[in-house]
Amino acid sequence: MPVQVELLLWIVDRAYTPLRRTDMQAAST
C-alpha cells in the first residue's frame, strides 16, 4: 500500500471521527 494512500485514509478517518461522535450523541439524545 503506497504511503500516500495510507495517509489519505488516515486524514479521512480523522476528519470523520468528530462527525461520527456527533452522530452518536445525537442518536443517543
pLDDT tens column, 9-27: 999 989 888 777 777 677 6
Angle in degrees, CA 22, 19, 4, rounded to 5: 155
* Residue that the C-alpha cell 488516515 belongs to: 10
pLDDT at 29: 62
Phi, psi angles (nearest 5°) of residue 2: -60, 145
Q: Please say if the pLDDT value at position 6 is more than 90.
A: yes
The predicted pLDDT at position 17 comes to: 83
